[in-house]
Amino acid sequence: MLTLLLVCIGGGIGAMIRGGITEICVNKFSSQFPIATFIVNIIGSFTIGIILGHALHISWINPFLVTGILGGLTTFSTLASELVKMIEAKTNLPLFISYSILQYGGCFAACLIGYKLF
């Protein structure tokens, strides 16, 4: 029961952070490139890499921080929906491909860098 509570609290915190970053990006940048999703996914992947690199086995870390906060912060479903919207809007192909590669490759690289730092 405690694990579920930690995930719920952490998820709420992560989602609020993502919402704040999205709001800032919408107000600061006008672009076809969904910068907010890119930012939260890179930050989340890097942070998860750091946690994996430390091999933290503290009982509350994974449910609260990884599954909760970072799970609420990062968003695979938003990425997928943005890619669908780009196709539907007939966004130019180079932008679509660039965004896809930057998301998947960037998140992998960020996680690996975070992991290797420690």
Orientation angle between helical segments 35-54 and 76-88, nearest 10 degrees = 150
Q: CA of 4: how far to CAs of 1, 17, 18, 39, 61, in Å? A: 5, 20, 21, 27, 13
Binding-site members are 71, 74
Binding-site members for Na(+) are 71, 74
User: Could you tell me the two tokens for 56?
Assistant: 């933290």
